[in-house]
Chains A and B, each alone.
Chain A
């Protein structure tokens, strides 16, 4: 069995969040930064308290759509949806936008810190800002293999920057060589995926996460995994994905990745055995369940008092053994005491199995 998260805590405006619509979450040691549709928040895990910033506190624009922390300086970088880019440092916001910097567009979907550089995925290309030399580089179809320039997500790890580009698949930027490589759907058609594992499942890409030399990808048409040689496509009809509409992805290892979808949260917990755990919330009772699947076969359904606060999941973040989940109606903290990777032959006594312990095809 894979590890199943059974201890969940929810946060909404009643607990101090500036807004319940959560676009981004970034764990940073004892702090957790939260980007919402109505401001920025920071949760201190030691005190259990929130601090918030809205426009009246100097936040340049209310909609915070992306977050990353510079590990060298501790600065927080914010991508704002229609408000450009900001650096939060020493209690001050520095604002970078189309008219005062090399930011290519103010509609920022993703932000990632790469060494001394900050990348912003915008609706009209990507910008890379060298924070030491204060130099901007803009990437569009003119100097990168972007079939379209509509950047959606950006992530950095291990010498590689990955851009998820709407209409242009995934672009890989090798930091050492400054060379680009593109990953497109080999069939080239919007209305079909000819073969599941022949490449990225679709060119309308929303998120990327690179870890342990494995690239995890989310799209609005299914998800996928690439190990540098083989692609594996994931669709709801044969996995634990509650939907093919993927808003974001976060990889924890080469074996485990978390997918934020519009119908719930799904994690590939063990790639090799295709084992999934899917978390959803009952719209009527607001109670939850975790479904353990191997492919489309349900192994176990675990009824939980609480899982995610809403099934429309926009973001997910790995924080040590814990998982943070941003939804369009609140934030969730899944506490992973006793977490173990991949699978274990265990008898899990922490959660009471559902009376209707299910085996068979998953009902989506």
Chain B
């Protein structure tokens, strides 16, 4: 065996071992069989990806899902008609020449892009008010921690180069996220990008990523339509509002036997698209939403919406919007004497919500994309490192960003510095990524198909319940 080949194989072995430890979970002394299988599969995929070259497509069977997003029969649109075409069942393939681009020579660092709302903005797209910085800052902290930990382990192993996060603010104004992706792709020459939170801005960003041919990992936008675009360059490592909505629907109608649900939501894209599956699913299950009321971002008085909901004689109310709004709505509801059970989106599982809602928070139920109370040494280690670094506990945006960046780093360590191959190794991975947020199995649409949860506020604490815990079948 010649020396370069030997070096390459040693590097690959090292990378695969790192990959195993990354998704195997600490505390396990031996490598589990599933991880060995995963490592073998990764090595095989890598050979096929490299063999495809400039003109070919890797000879790897694309992932095929039986039904989109594991949607149950009763929730499928036009469920009793066979549609002419079903989308997103077959994994998207990248068929361009990108795999033939050689790894560049002189580099000082391996750059990974970050785009998120980390500064206040006067965004039009988000409804005119600045409201997502708290989420973006947490996301940035999680991403930075992942980069630092990777650098502590030697950075980009193959060339002993440090990873570097190239940070952009997503201000959401006039499609600025598109300009930022251009800058990162062509000027900064990053290898992949993490971001962002706002649904509209993320859509703009992924369209640019498609043309510029750069992988994007999304860890903070739960808009279901994000991955319903047939773009082979976008991955999401967080359970979306479709999955969270399905679980809530099953709980509302299957467990609590409600018949009359009302919705109050933000008038922005997050609110509009967040409740879409709940609205459609309720209708499909024979219980159309009685009333859906939207409120402008920045409003302080929700009495109009709440009085209408009360007058509509709804049994329970679902809120989709930011935590501060969700808490203020809850307080005003209770002040109006409305004792309706209150359900909300995952953004309301936050300190801000609890601080504003106070005792009113007791008994509310929110959807949640993961179980942060899970017993997992890997999660414990992440919490400890995050606390040490930032003096506080990580939230969902930090944890998912940490997982997203680690997935990208794993891909870079495995395939080297080539955007198409980074995309490929993630897209063709069959084994779920075992992150701090739990298992992340990618669907054919490259979306997170893992478990989602309901968070119950009980005795002043959040408790998380899976579909199984709640005795709900699909």
Contacts and interface: CB of A to CB of B under 8 A. Distances in A.
B225 interface: yes
A23 B54 CA distance: 18
A329 interface: yes
A296 interface: no
7 contacts: A63-B186, A105-B179, A123-B178, A148-B203, A190-B87, A196-B84, A245-B230
A192 B77 contact: yes
Nearest to A62: B186
B182 interface: yes
B229 A150 contact: no
Contacts of A148: 200, 203
B85 interface: yes
Contact of B55 (A105, A190, A329): A329
Interface stretch (A27-35, A154-162, A265-273, A281-289): A281-289
A82 B77 CA distance: 38
Contact of A166 (B86, B95, B96, B207): B207
B68 interface: yes
B32 interface: no
B307 interface: no
B77 A187 contact: yes
A20 B96 CA distance: 12
Chain B CB within 10 Å — which of A148, A262, A286 has the most?
A: A262
Contacts of A193: 83-85, 87
Given A196-B85, A286-B55, A329-B54, A105 B68 contact: no
B328 interface: no
B55 A281 contact: yes
A277 interface: no
B70 to A, nearest CB: 12
B186 A235 contact: no
B137 interface: no
A107 B179 contact: yes
A152 interface: yes
Contacts of B224: 190
B88 interface: yes
Given A81-B211, A283-B52, 6 more contacts: A149-B175, A150-B203, A191-B86, A192-B83, A310-B96, A328-B97
B56 A98 contact: no
Contacts of A194: 77-78, 81, 83-84
A301 interface: no
Per DSSP, chain B at the interface is loop
B179 A82 contact: yes
Interface string A179-206: 0000000010111111110000110100
A333 interface: no
A190 B97 CA distance: 29
Per DSSP, chain A at the interface is loop
Contacts of B175: 104-105, 107, 122-125, 149
Contacts of A204: 229-230
Nearest to A285: B55
A243 B92 CA distance: 11
A167 interface: yes
B97 A107 contact: no
Nearest to A237: B85
B78 to A, nearest CB: 5
A43 interface: no
Nearest to B93: A262
Contacts of B92: 245
Contact of B96 (A82, A233, A328): A328
A106 interface: yes
Interface of B: 52-57, 68-69, 77-78, 81, 83-88, 92-93, 95-97, 174-175, 178-179, 182-183, 186, 200, 203-204, 207-208, 211-212, 224-225, 228-231
A65 interface: yes
A192 B186 contact: no
A107 B208 contact: yes
A87 interface: no
Interface in A213-237: 220-222, 233, 235
A107 B178 contact: yes
B168 to A, nearest CB: 13
A202 B77 CA distance: 15
A286 B53 CA distance: 13
Interface string A36-69: 0000000000000000000000000011010000
Contacts of A310: 54-55, 96-97
A190 B83 contact: no
Nearest to A202: B87
The 8 closest A-B pairs by CB, nearest first: A124-B175, A82-B182, A283-B55, A192-B83, A107-B178, A190-B228, A283-B56, A220-B230
A335 to B, nearest CB: 23
A191 B56 CA distance: 28
A104 B175 CA distance: 9
A91 to B, nearest CB: 26
A311 interface: yes
B68 A191 contact: yes
Interface string A104-139: 111101000000000000111100000000000000
A263 interface: yes
B78 A311 contact: no
Given A105-B179, A123-B178, A192 B97 contact: no
Chain A CB within 10 Å — which of B93, B175, B204, B207 has the most?
A: B175
A347 to B, nearest CB: 33
A81 to B, nearest CB: 6
B96 A262 contact: yes
B186 A312 contact: no
A311 B85 CA distance: 24
Contacts of B52: 283
Given A63-B186, A191-B228, A263-B95, A98 B174 contact: yes
Given A107-B182, A262-B95, A221 B207 contact: no
Contacts of A195: 83-84
Contacts of A202: 87
Nearest to A235: B85
Contacts of B229: 166, 204, 220
A196 B85 CA distance: 8
Contacts of B53: 283
A10 B314 CA distance: 67
A92 B93 CA distance: 41
A128 to B, nearest CB: 17
B97 A329 contact: yes
B98 to A, nearest CB: 8
A329 B179 CA distance: 25
A123 B209 CA distance: 12
Contacts of B207: 123, 150, 152, 166
A81 B54 CA distance: 24
Given A123-B178, A194-B83, A245-B230, A312 B183 contact: no
Given A192-B77, A192-B78, A123 B208 contact: yes
A235 B83 CA distance: 13
A191 B55 CA distance: 30
Contacts of A191: 68-69, 77, 86-88, 228
Contacts of A192: 77-78, 83-87
Contacts of B88: 191
Contacts of A328: 96-97
B174 A104 contact: yes
